Structure 1
Amino acid sequence: MSAASEIVERNVGSILVVDDEASARQVLVQLLRDDGHHVEEAADGFKALGVLQDWRPDILLTDLKMPLMDGVQLLKKAREMYPDLTCIVMTAFASVDTAVQAMKSGANEYLTKPLNFEAVELTIERALERVRLVKELEVLREKANTAAPQIVGNSAPVKHLLQLIDQVAPSRATVLITGESGTGKEMVARRIHEMSNRGRKPFMALHCAALTETLLESELFGHEKGAFTGAASTRRGRFEEADGGTIFLDEIGEISPSTQVKLLRFLQTREFERVGGNQTISVDVRIVTATNRNLAEEVQKGRFREDLYYRLNVINIETPPLRTRRSDIPLLMRHFVDKYSRENSKTIQEIDSEFVRELESYDWPGNVRELENVIERAVVLTESGRITADHLPRTVTQSSGSKAWGSDVVIPGSRLEDLERYAILATYESTGGDSAETAQILGVSQRKIQYKLRDYRDAGLV
């Protein structure tokens, strides 16, 4: 448990009392201890600094006028050690000037001597309430920093995806994430990392298609000084930087045969050499990769190593396209509206129902990424706080309804093949994209379902 969490839960205060008058100090210390606080004491500023070297209290309660080091000097030095330390000063010289001086020196509260014990207790209570609020904020920040990335949706495909992530994350297995562009493969990778025991270690993401072969190998493995033109100094690669954590290689199907060989060796041994070097380096890194290519077909065509494919594909997670999880569109819409309203300092009071219908009937070839861009555009363009279909791009409004699998089915009046298509695609979506279950529900062979789905995709109907 963190120190921040402990303070919030125990709900008590720790106080350092500093006063050169021994009798006054001891009475105050006893009062505070009787109230249940943990109290330490010091007779002057120098001794107080010694205590602060080894112990950080919630509150520093100090006299203002003391020999050798006065309260102002003590406050300044204490604040150098603990910038957010809550400080209360006491003085027998009740004047506006001394109050201003105390506040300028960093005091949060001000008490006058002789002390009124009720006033002391109220001031301590008020100061501890401030401490508690600060600590609670720290706890919330800790939780936010360690929270797994949010995957929005309640549809069957998303529930299946989240269940699979929960099962896979705690293991050490290599994961291959497949799916269309824009379906959130990197988000899945980050969630796997955050939910594993590596969550507090580095997460490194690298988009393989964006780099040349030499630069990609340098990014992965690092390089020695002079290894190639421009290598002016030795540089650690992503594998070294991610030691103990996770490295995510997106678009893994794009890497060259030479890089494939080096990556295969690393997966077998967890060892590598920097580009231009001969020192063997060992690291503990989990590999998660992603591609929108069919790597099995790439293997058959000789463009991807079969042994590397099997090393990468220990666990396969497929991210569902948005068209198979249409019921999630309103949830995603609300999520992105909230996000971009905050980022653009806008208040969205209403979302027109026609806007939502257009979103639900569009096929989203760019998947969630395309939906996010459309929602951001709508939030930016609206001037009235109301989002309408007029804020949609033509690509959405002209296509929605023409390709949505159920939009052109009217009973009676539709052709038999349209009714068949509706039945197959509606059932396929309800099963979360399970062709075997779809076939069982409809009472036909799985082969026929797969054949029909291929035809629909080739015709651009799904």
Structure 2
Amino acid sequence: MVLKKAKILVIDDDVDVLTAIRLLLKPLVNEIVVEKNPNNINFQIESKKFDLIILDMNFNGLVNTGNEGIFWLNKIKQFNPNIAVVLMTAYADIDLAVRGLKEGASDFLIKPWKNEKIINTLTSILKSEKSKESVKSTFSPKQFSIIGESDAMQDVFLKLNKVAPTDANVLILGENGTGKDLIARALHENSNRKHKPFVKVDVGSLTSTLFESELFGYKKGAFTGANEDRKGRFETANGGTLFLDEIGNISLGQQVRLLTVLQNRQVTPLGSNKPIDVDIRLICATNENPSVLADEKKFRKDLIYRINTVDITVPPLRDRNTDITLLTKHFIQVYEDKYNKGPFEMGADFLKKLKKHDFPGNVRELQYVLERAIIMADGNQLNSEDLVFSSIERSTQKTTPQTLNLDDLEKNAILTVLEKHKGNISKSAKELGITRAALYRRLEKYEL
């Protein structure tokens, strides 16, 4: 049964071998793809999610490594360390195949193979991988979709599953655009309070007066314009979850008022002397560096202890590069449906360009880049020229170069000028002080 659902990629430069194994496995599996050129491995596994790869160990010296199979095995594992790889080798290369097991291969097959042996081997590996996946899936939210298979996100999922069922206060840390609000909602949706309200407040944008009226509510006549009683967010969230976003931006005075409410579990609306009991689970988020929160001149330590029973750090997209393919496919599907376009295919250079970008705006930037690509695309294939990265995100970064490497500095300068002139080669070359031909050479050099 597990073999019937599998998608398998076979890589071998011997056409006869590819034909034989394809004829053997085609009736038994969901899909089998054969590939003669190992240089296309990245494209194949970026374009489709395979459950298992069968990889030959010799490719007529295409790479000068002493053994091609080990080289390509390492390339596959760099791209996706979790994918199962079965090596194919001749009797004379058994020692190399054993070395391949140490490098991360799941098993090896000896040519010429016996059909029953290859079927049993693949079935056994796929069952083992499915068992691992079922354990791994316990680390992802049960009722709220968060996309990610990277090690960094698995750590987040592990914490979510431990913390969500409790009433512990949680502080979510992370850069802008990483998805802190998704984590907050996942905590609520997987908690015992999931059938009660989830109330979000961007407290960093509230003035001192609005802070109290928004959070604690007010009575009719409490101030000019208070024409009726109004519940505050604490009272609205009673029994459920209150999510205070940008908590690191509130003033010391606001911190004192918030601390009092958290200590007493009571709010007193403006214009009233009667406290109201509240029962909430508190989740806070900030993009501030933890060192800022540790500075008592900016943030009260007693408040930190109140809001930070457990902290969850959401990794930036640059630290979860292996998730870019998954996220890209997800957002493409979202915008195909939204704009009634597609279905789209991704060119080999499309994902390559995405993965080279550092995404200072994180997942939010990736989402907007892909939305624009879908809107502006003429055909049904997305290529690198369809990707335009925002200069807004780059301008919010530190102006001090993060590298002094001359090639990197030149590449960044070219990107900046191209974005400024919206890809116009003549204007860009003029500002850079080089000819159009020289600019084209540099574009080719840096694969831009």
TM-score range, shorter chain: 0.5 to 0.7
**Residues 333-385 of structure 1: CA distance to partner in whole angstroms, max 9, x if unpaired?**
00100111111111233111211111101101110011011111111111212
Question: How far off is 1:153 after superposition?
Answer: 1.0
Give deviations 1:230-257, integer Å, cap 9, x for gaps.
Answer: 2221100111111110010000011122
Distance 1:377 1:395 in 2: 11
Q: What letter matches 1:209 in structure 2?
A: G
* Residues 384-423 of structure 1: pairs in structure 2 closer than 5 A: 384-395=379-390
Report the secondary structure of 2:183's partner residue: helix
In structure 2, do the counterparts of structure 1 residues 224 and 387 end up closer, same or farther at CA, with 3 Å as the change threshold?
Answer: same
- 1:243 paired to 2:238: yes
| 1:346–1:147 Cα change, 3 Å | farther
Please give the per-residue CA displacement for 1:377-406, whole angstroms capped at 9, x wherever unaligned: 11111121221112111548x99xx98999
Q: 1:211: Cα distance to partner?
A: 2.1
**Cα deviations by residue, 1:113-171 (Å, 9 ceiling, x for unpaired):** xxxxxxxxxxxxxxxxxxxxxxxxxxxxxxxxx97331111100011100100000011
Report the counterpart of residue 201 of structure 1 in structure 2.
Answer: 196
- The aligned residue for residue 177 of structure 2 is 182
Q: What TM-score do the two structures reach when normalised by structure 2?
A: 0.55
Q: How does 1:335-354 map to 2 (within 5 A)?
A: 335-354=330-349
Alignment of 1:53-132 (within 5 A): none
Residue of structure 2 in register with 1:169 after alignment:
164
Shift of 1:224: 1.1
Does the CA contact (< 8 Å) of 1:227 and 1:276 recur in 2?
A: yes
Which of the residues 276, 284, 297 maps onto 1:289? 284
Three-state SS of the structure 1 residue aligned to 2:282 is strand
CA contact (8 A) 1:337 1:379 kept: yes
The residue type paired with residue 221 of structure 2 is: G
Contact residue 293 and residue 304 of structure 2 kept, 8 A: no
In structure 2, relative to structure 1, the CA distance for the partners of 1:155 and 1:404 (3 Å cut) is farther
Quote the sequence identity (%).
44
Structure 2 vs 1, CA of residues 375 and 405 (structure 1 numbering), >3 Å: closer, same or farther?
farther
CA contact (8 A) 2:350 2:384 kept: yes
Is 2:276 aligned against 1:274? no
Q: Post-superposition shift, 1:303? A: 1.5
One-letter identity of the residue aligned with 2:366: L
Conservation of the 8 A alpha-carbon contact between 1:181 and 1:367:
yes
> Where in structure 1 do 4 or more consecutive aligned residues deviate above 6 Å?
402-406
Match of 2:432 in 1: none
How many Å separate the matches in 2 of 1:224 and 1:310? Answer: 31
CA deviations 1:47-92 (Å, max 9, x no partner) are xxxxxxxxxxxxxxxxxxxxxxxxxxxxxxxxxxxxxxxxxxxxxx
1:225 maps to: 220
Preserved contact between residue 180 and residue 285 of structure 2 (Cα < 8 Å): yes
Given that residues 183 and 319 in structure 1 are in contact (C-alpha distance below 8 angstroms), is that contact kept between their aligned partners in structure 2?
yes
- Determine the C-alpha separation between the residues in 2 that align with 1:187 and 1:148: 12
In structure 2, the CA distance between the partners of 1:306 and 1:196, relative to structure 1 (3 Å rule), is same
| Unaligned segments of structure 1, at least 5 residues | 1-145, 410-462
Find the counterpart in structure 1 of residue 153 from structure 2.
Answer: 158
- Cα distance in structure 2, aligned partners of 1:404 and 1:364: 16
Find the residue that maps to 2:379 and give its secondary structure: coil
SS in 2 for 1:300: coil
Cα distance in 2 between the residues matched to 1:160 and 1:277: 45
Structure 2 CA distance for partners of 1:405 and 1:148, relative to 1, 3 Å: farther
Which 5+ residue runs of structure 2 have no aligned equivalent?
A: 1-140, 395-400, 409-448
Question: What letter corresponds to residue 204 of structure 1 in structure 2?
Answer: V
Q: Which has the larger radius of gyration?
A: 1
Q: Name the structure 2 match of 1:72.
A: none
For the 8 Å contact 1:222–1:274, the answer to whether it is kept is yes
Q: Residue 242 of structure 2 contacts residue 282 of structure 2 at CA under 8 Å; is this kept in 1?
A: yes
Shift of 1:266: 1.7
**2:191 aligned with 1:212, yes or no?**
no
Q: Conserved in 2, the CA contact under 8 Å of 1:364 and 1:370?
A: yes
- Answer with 379-388 or 306-315: which moved more: 379-388
How large is the Cα RMSD of the aligned pairs? 2.6
Distance (Å, rounded) in 1 between the aligned partners of 2:258 and 2:345:
51
Q: Which residue of 1 aligns with 2:329?
A: 334
TM-score, reference length from structure 1? 0.53
Q: Is the 8 A contact 2:343 2:380 kept in 1?
A: yes
Q: Report what 1:302 is aligned to.
A: 297
Q: Which amino acid aligns with 2:386?
A: H
Partner residue, 2:41: none
3-state SS in 1 of match to 2:218: coil
Query: Residues 206 and 249 of structure 1 are in contact (CA less than 8 Å); yes or no, is this contact kept in structure 2?
Result: yes
How many residues are paired up?
261
Q: Counterparts in 2 of 1:24-43, with a 5 A limit?
A: none
Q: Does 1:369 align with 2:367?
A: no
Q: Quote how far apart the aligned CAs of 1:258 are.
A: 2.4
Identify which of 369, 377, 380 aligns with 1:382.
377
Q: Distance in 2 between matches of 1:190 and 1:386?
A: 34
> Measured at CA, do residues 368 and 178 of structure 1 come closer, stay the same or move farther in structure 2, by a change above 3 Å?
same
- 2:244 aligned counterpart, secondary structure: strand
Contact 1:348 1:387 in 2 (8 A): no
Query: 2:387 is matched by which residue type in structure 1?
Result: L
- Shift of residue 295, structure 1, vs aligned partner: 4.6
Tell me the distance in 1 between the aligned counterparts of 2:293 and 2:240.
29
- Look up the match of 1:191: 186
CA distance in 2, matches of 1:147, 1:218: 36
Distance 1:383 1:166 in 2: 43
Q: Verify the 8 A CA contact 1:153 1:331 in the aligned structure 2.
A: yes
> Separation in 1 of the partners of 2:326 and 2:302?
41
